[in-house]
């Protein structure tokens, strides 16, 4: 500011002096004092015009809006333009920061596994993320600023939106819901700001399915336990109230023992399943000699065939084949349980005199296949996809008569999955079935050198 006063005074002084000097030697009619006054006046006018021009330049520069160059670097107008430029730069930086923050928030919403829709006070869509687009079938270009009620037409949602009571969530079908692939959404509106609404949606299909499965499972277990318990209770009551002769007593006790066994087998299978679900995956470095597993399976198969057909002779024709020196990495108890279930099923479902073949093959791609084939009744194709479901039975009475729990193949599937193996079922009604577990090459090794020593060791064990 002082420079401005100083420059003005300098202009006045120089102009006045020049005028005075110009007037002095001429001795014209203009006195030196008048010349001085005129010079000062002209000096002031010139200073004002220059100042006006600088001010006008700054104004033009401000109007043009391009602040990249420094326009005037000196004087009051220089400082004004410099401060304006700095203020504008600061404003631009603040706007950029806000935009970046905003982008971060939107990216966070976009990354959310839940659907997010922002609605204005009228219920029109201001923004939504990709998940909401999938849940409600929204299109970013077409549906922005559309009323949500026009796009989500589910009657439950329309009523929920209109009722303006958003305390609880709403369960509704998702846009891609079909009878074959149900999609269930949990939807809730949350008021925020001035009349605005945040619409959150969550895919709860898996949760609902898990819940339904849990309910079914409990109902099935209760049913499976209630049946033998009712029979047992009935026999106990009969024995308490009726006078029975020795033969009848023996028969009743035998039937009671069978029901108790059935419950024991069921509880044992349930425990096996829960252990499989809760325990860490089987080690891939514990190598098991397959021929030793096969020997164990063969012994169990012989005794089961005898128990099931005590009177009939011949019972089942059992055949076990396994190459020597083959090893599989995994948990011995789990593999014995899975393989034992397959062999047990083949014996239980194949009538006496039928054939059951159990073999292990080393496949060309390094996998090993354990298979059980029987000459039993076979299974109709429509049952095959559901066989490994818990408590699924093709023939309820045959399964129960032979001590089945309906959990055997569920256990087999679990064990196979835990070992990275696949379970394949082939069956022709009236001809028989083949159940095969193929172990991945990483879990299989075969060495002729190890064969003898490993087998000898296994024999000694
Ligand atoms: P279960 O304890 O009833 O045998 P599983 O889960 O082991 O239960 O088997 C499911 C159903 O598959 C059985 O009830 C039976 O109907 C059918 N099944 C299993 N293995 C055979 C087989 N080898 N031959 C014919 N049907 C079989």
Both tokens assigned to 303: 């005794």
pLDDT of residue 460: 44
- pLDDT at position 26: 63
Whether residue 424 sits in one domain with residue 333: yes
Q: What pLDDT does 461 receive? A: 44
pLDDT bin (cut points 50, 70, 90) of residue 448 is: low
The domain tally of the chain equals 4
Average pLDDT over residues 11-31: 79
**Domain containing residue 390: CATH number:** 3.30.565.10
Question: Is residue 26 in some structural domain?
Answer: yes
CA–centroid distance, 356 to ligand 1, in Å, is 15
53 Cα–ligand 1 center, Å: 101
**Which of these, 122, 114, 130, 140, lies nearest to 199 by C-alpha position?**
114
pLDDT at 79: 85
61 inside domain = yes
Segment 157-164 shows an average pLDDT of 94
Do 61 and 164 lie in one domain? The reply is no
Shared-domain flag, residues 197 and 213: no
The percent of the chain in helix, strand and coil, each rounded to the nearest 5, is 55, 15, 25
| Atom 4 of ligand 1: nearest residue by CA position | 404
The model's pLDDT over 417-447, given as tens digits with 9 standing for 90+, comes to 999 999 999 999 999 999 999 999 999 998 7
Q: In what order do the strands lie in the sheet with 287-289?
A: 287-289, 326-329, 444-446
Whether residue 426 is contained in a domain is answered as yes
**CB-neighbour burial class of residue 422 (10 A; exposed 0-12, middle 13-18, buried 19+):** middle
- On whether both 446 and 318 belong to a single domain, the answer is yes
Q: Please classify residue 39 by burial: count the beta carbons closer than 10 Å to its beta carbon, then call 0-12 exposed, 13-18 middle and 19+ buried.
A: buried
Q: Same structural domain for residues 317 and 446?
A: yes
Among candidate residues 249, 279, 309, the one where a domain is terminated: 279
Residue nearest to atom 10 of ligand 1 (CA): 393
The model's pLDDT over 194-224, given as tens digits with 9 standing for 90+, comes to 999 999 999 999 999 999 999 999 999 999 9
From 339, 345, 350, 408, the mutation candidate for ligand 1 (largest count of ligand atoms within 8 A of CB) is 345
User: Strands 184-192 and 444-446: what pairing?
Assistant: unpaired
250 with 392, same domain: the answer is no
Top mean pLDDT of 305-314, 397-406, 452-461 is at: 397-406
- Asked whether 344 lines ligand 1 (CB < 6 A), one says no
Is 360 within the bounds of a domain? Answer: yes
Cα of 242 vs centre of ligand 1, distance in Å, is: 38
Atom of ligand 1 nearest to the CA of 411: 6
Q: What is the pTM of this model?
A: 0.68
CB 115 within 8 A of CB 202: yes
Give pLDDT, residue 189. 97
Does residue 100 form part of some domain?
no
Residue nearest to atom 3 of ligand 1 (CA): 406
Mention every residue, 6+ apart, whose C-beta is less than 8 A from residue 137: 151, 175, 176
What's the rounded Cα separation, in Å, for the pair 165 and 169?
Answer: 10
- Strands (E) across 64-132 are located at 115-119, 125-128
Lowest-confidence segment of 321-330, 436-445, 450-459 by average pLDDT: 450-459
Q: Residue 408 above 50 pLDDT?
A: yes
Average pLDDT over residues 190-195: 94
DSSP state of 422: E
Could you count the other beta carbons within 10 Å of the beta carbon of residue 118?
19
List, for residues 83-142, the tens digit of each pLDDT value: 888 898 999 999 999 999 999 999 999 999 999 999 999 999 999 999 999 999 999 999
Is 230 a domain residue?
yes
pLDDT tens profile 32-87: 788 888 888 999 999 999 999 988 988 888 888 887 776 777 888 888 888 888 89
Last residue of a domain, one of 150, 168, 203: 203
- Is 363 a residue whose pLDDT tops 90? yes
Ligand 1 binding pocket includes 354 (Cβ within 6 Å): no
Question: Does 257 lie in the same domain as 363?
Answer: no
Q: What angle do CA 395, 398, 237 make, to 5 degrees?
A: 120
Torsions phi, psi for 184 (to 5 deg)? -110, 135
Compute the C-alpha angle 32/36/40, nearest 5°. Answer: 170
Query: What 3-state class would DSSP assign to 456?
Result: helix
Q: Is 349 in the pocket of ligand 1 (CB under 6 A)?
A: yes
The residue segments making up the domain with residue 351 are 280-460
Cβ of residue 266 lying under 6 Å from some atom of ligand 1: no
* Ligand 1 proximity of 129 Cβ (cutoff 6 Å): no
CA distances from 311 to 191, 255, 307, 315, 401 (A): 77, 18, 9, 9, 16
Q: What percent of the chain has a predicted confidence (pLDDT) above 90?
A: 69
Strands 432-439 and 326-329: unpaired
Q: What is the percent of the chain where pLDDT is above 70? A: 95
C-alpha span between 116 and 146 (Å, rounded): 15
- Whether residue 308 sits in one domain with residue 163: no
Residues 70 and 123 grouped into a single domain? no
Ligand 1 atom nearest residue 432's Cα: 24
Q: Which of 246, 279, 312 is the last residue of a domain?
A: 279
Q: How far apart are CA 293 and CA 305, in angstroms?
A: 18
The enclosing domain of 216 has a CATH number of 1.10.287.130
Partners of 460 in beta bridges: none
Q: Is 103 within the bounds of a domain?
A: no
How many angstroms separate the Cα of 295 from the Cα of each of 375, 447, 455? 22, 19, 11
Q: What's the CATH number where 126 sits? A: 3.30.450.20
Whether 21 and 130 map to the same domain: the answer is no
- Cα(29)–Cα(23) distance, rounded to whole angstroms? 9
- Which ligand 1 atom is nearest residue 393's CA? 14
Q: Are residues 127 and 233 in the same domain?
A: no
Query: Does pLDDT of 379 surpass 90?
Result: yes
- Indicate whether 95 belongs to any domain: no
Domain check: are 226 and 83 in the same one?
Answer: no
**In the predicted model, what is the mean pLDDT of the chain?**
90
Find the distance separating the first CA and the last CA of the chain, reported in whole Å: 105
pLDDT above 50: residue 315: yes
Residue 329: pLDDT above 70?
yes
Q: At 312, is the pLDDT very low, low, confident or very high (cuts 50, 70, 90)?
A: low
């Amino acid at each position: 500011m002082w420079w401005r006063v100083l420059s003005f005074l300098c202009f006045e002084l120089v102009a006045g002096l020049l005028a005075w000097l110009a007037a002095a030697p001429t001795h014209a009619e203009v006195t030196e004092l008048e010349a001085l006054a005129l010079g000062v006046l002209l000096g002031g006018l010139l200073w004002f015009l220059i100042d006006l021009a600088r001010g006008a330049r700054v104004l033009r520069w401000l109007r043009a809006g391009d602040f990249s160059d420094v326009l005037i670097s000196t004087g009051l107008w220089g400082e004004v333009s410099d401060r304006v430029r700095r203020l504008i730069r600061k404003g631009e930086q603040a706007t950029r920061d806000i935009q970046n923050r905003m982008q971060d928030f939107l990216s966070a919403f976009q990354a959310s596994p839940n659907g997010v829709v922002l609605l204005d006070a009228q219920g029109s869509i201001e923004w939504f993320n990709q998940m909401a687009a999938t849940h409600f079938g929204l299109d970013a270009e077409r549906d922005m600023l559309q009323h949500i009620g026009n796009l989500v037409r589910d009657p439950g949602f329309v009523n929920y939106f209109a009722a303006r009571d958003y305390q609880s969530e709403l369960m509704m079908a998702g846009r891609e819901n079909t009878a074959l692939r149900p999609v269930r959404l949990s939807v809730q509106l949350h008021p925020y700001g001035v009349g605005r609404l945040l619409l959150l949606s969550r895919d709860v299909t898996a949760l609902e399915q898990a819940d339904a499965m849990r309910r079914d499972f409990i109902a099935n277990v209760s049913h499976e336990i209630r049946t033998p318990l009712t029979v047992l209770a009935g026999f106990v009551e009969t024995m308490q109230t009726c006078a029975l002769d020795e033969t009848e007593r023996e028969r009743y006790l035998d039937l009671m023992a069978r029901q108790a066994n059935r419950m024991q087998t069921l509880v044992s299978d349930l425990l096996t399943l829960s252990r499989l679900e809760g325990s860490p995956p089987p080690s891939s470095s514990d190598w098991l000699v397959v021929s030793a597993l096969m020997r164990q399976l063969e012994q169990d198969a012989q005794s089961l065939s005898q128990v099931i057909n005590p009177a009939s002779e011949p019972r089942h024709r059992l055949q076990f084949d396994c190459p020597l020196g083959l090893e599989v990495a995994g948990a011995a108890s789990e593999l014995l349980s899975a393989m034992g279930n397959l062999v047990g099923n083949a014996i239980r479902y194949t009538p006496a005199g039928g054939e059951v073949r159990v073999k292990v093959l080393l496949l060309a791609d390094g996998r090993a296949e354990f298979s059980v084939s029987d000459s039993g009744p076979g299974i109709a194709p429509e049952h095959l996809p559901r066989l490994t479901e818990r408590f699924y039975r093709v023939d309820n009475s045959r399964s129960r008569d032979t001590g089945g729990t309906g959990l055997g193949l569920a256990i087999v599937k679990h064990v196979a999955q835990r070992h990275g193996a696949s379970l394949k079922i082939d069956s022709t009604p009236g001809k028989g079935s083949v159940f095969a577990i193929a172990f991945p090459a990483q879990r299989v090794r075969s060495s002729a050198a190890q064969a003898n020593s490993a087998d000898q060791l296994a024999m000694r064990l």
